[in-house]
Structure 1
C-alpha cells in the first residue's frame, strides 16, 4: 500500500484542480479522509482477521462497491446542493485507494471487485514501492517508499492539479 498521506494526495489534487467554486473545502477534506479510510482494515490484524479474509487487509474496504456505498452515505449526510458532483468526487476519492494499491509491488493484491469477485488483483505494472506497516516505516525501506510515491504519485498529481487549475474555467459558485 502507499502511505496514508499519499492516498490523501489524490483527492487533494483533484479538489484543487476543480477549484473552490465547484467543491468546498469540507468536501475536499472529506474526500481526503475517505481516501485514507480503507486502510483502517489493518485493525483487523489485532482481532485475528487474516490478511486474505474478505474483511482482511485490502479486502472489502478497498472494493469499488464499498467506495460507492460510503460515498452515497456521506453525500446523503452532507446534503450538498451539487450532490451528483459531491458523490462522484467522494466515490473517486475512496476508490482511488484500491486503485493506487493495485500498482504497488507487494502485498497480496486488492479485492477491487468484492463481493462479485473475491480475487485479489494487481495491475500489470507495479512501480510503487509497498509501504511498510507500523514503525518499520521509519527505516530505509520507508524512505525508499516515499521516494517511490513522490515519483509515481505526488509529481503526476501535481502536474494534473496545475493543468486543471490552468484549463478548467473558474466558476462563481
Structure 2
C-alpha cells in the first residue's frame, strides 16, 4: 500500500480540482479521509482475517463498489445533517467516489502486496498495474519508521507529490483570470 500521507494528499488534490472554491475546503478534508479509509481493513489482521480473503487487506474495502457505497452514504449523511443537499451534490459525490477509489489505484501502483480486488465482491482476482513505481509502505505504524519510512516517502514525493503539485499549479494557471493592462 501507499502510505496514509500519499493517499490523503491525492484525495485533497482531487477535492481542490473538482471543488476549487474556498467554501469547499471541508469537502477536501473529507476527500482526504475517504482516500485513506480503505486501509481500515488492516484491523482484520488482528482478528485472523486472511490477507487474500474477501474481507482481507486490499479486498472488498478497496473495491469500486465500496467507493460508490461510501460516497453515497456520506452524501446522504450530509443531507440528513443539514436537511438540504450540498451545492453541486453530483460533484461532491464524484469527488468522494474518486477519492476513495484513488486508494486502490495507488495501491495497484506499489511494489508489493497481493494486488487490489477492484471488482470485489463479484470477482476476487486482485490486480496490479503494469507501471508500479511507488514503494510499498509497511503495514503498521511501528514498522513505518527509519529507512523504510524514508524510502516510501521519497517514492511518494516523486510519484504522488510532484503530480499533485503540478495539477494544483495547472489548475491555478488555467483558471486565473487575466489582469487588465494598466493604461
TM-score clears 0.5:
yes
Distance 1:132 1:139 in 2: 12
Distance 1:104 1:20 in 2: 29
User: More relative contact order in 1 or in 2 (CA 8 Å, sep 6+)?
Assistant: 1
Equivalenced residues, count: 170
User: Normalization by structure 2: what TM-score?
Assistant: 0.88
The equivalent of 2:124 in structure 1 is 118
Matches within 5 A, 1:12-51: 12-18=12-18, 20-21=20-21, 24-51=24-51
Distance 1:86 1:125 in 2: 29
User: Normalization by structure 1: what TM-score?
Assistant: 0.92
Q: Of residues 137, 141, 146 in structure 2, which corresponds to 1:139?
A: 146
Distance 1:28 1:64 in 2: 20
Runs of 4+ in 1 over 3 A off after TM superposition: 17-20
Matches within 5 A, 1:77-156: 77-79=77-79, 80-134=86-140, 135-156=142-163
Q: Which runs of 5+ in 1 are unaligned?
A: none
Structure 1, residues 96-132: CA drift from partner, whole Å, max 9, x if none?
0001100000001010111222101100121100001
SS in 1 for 2:164: helix
SS in 1 for 2:118: coil
Which structure has the larger Rg over C-alpha atoms?
2
CA contact (8 A) 1:14 1:161 kept: no
SS in 1 for 2:143: helix
Distance 2:121 2:32 in 1: 25
CA contact (8 A) 1:11 1:32 kept: yes
State the superposition RMSD in angstroms.
1.6
Distance 1:100 1:51 in 2: 18
